[in-house]
Amino acid sequence: MIEPYKSKSVTGTKKALGQLKKVLAMIEEGEYCMDVIQQMRAVEGLLSSVSAQVLDSHLHTCGEKAFQSNNKKEQEKIIKELIIAFKAAKK
């Protein structure tokens, strides 16, 4: 993974982990369900942002390399990976 995506991904993942620990504590302490759900949505948002940063890095490294080459197999692999990523994002 390349910069600045790497440092942003590490920061976002650490934030998500901290938030997730807070969610766990809220559940264990019997906090109000809607408050727990709100915090869980925050974690999902952070992880979604990290996922986008990782994909961006992948496209700037592996994707760029594949499409600058004439290797059709590698290019097809990147295309299939993108399709999988887009399908996962819709869920």
For 19-56, how does the pLDDT look when each residue is reduced to its tens digit (9 = 90+)?
Answer: 999 999 999 999 999 999 999 999 999 999 999 999 99
What is the tens place of the pLDDT at every residue in 65-88? 999 998 999 999 999 999 998 888
Identify the CATH number of the domain in which residue 57 sits. 1.20.58.1000
The domain total for the chain is 1
pTM equals 0.83
Burial class (CB in 10 A: 0-12, 13-18, 19+), 3: exposed
Question: What is the separation of C-alpha 25 from the centre of its chain, rounded to a whole number of angstroms?
Answer: 24
The domain in which residue 63 lies consists of 5-90
- In angstroms, the CA 39 to CA 20 distance is 8
End-to-end CA distance of the chain: 25
- In angstroms, the CA 40 to CA 48 distance is 12
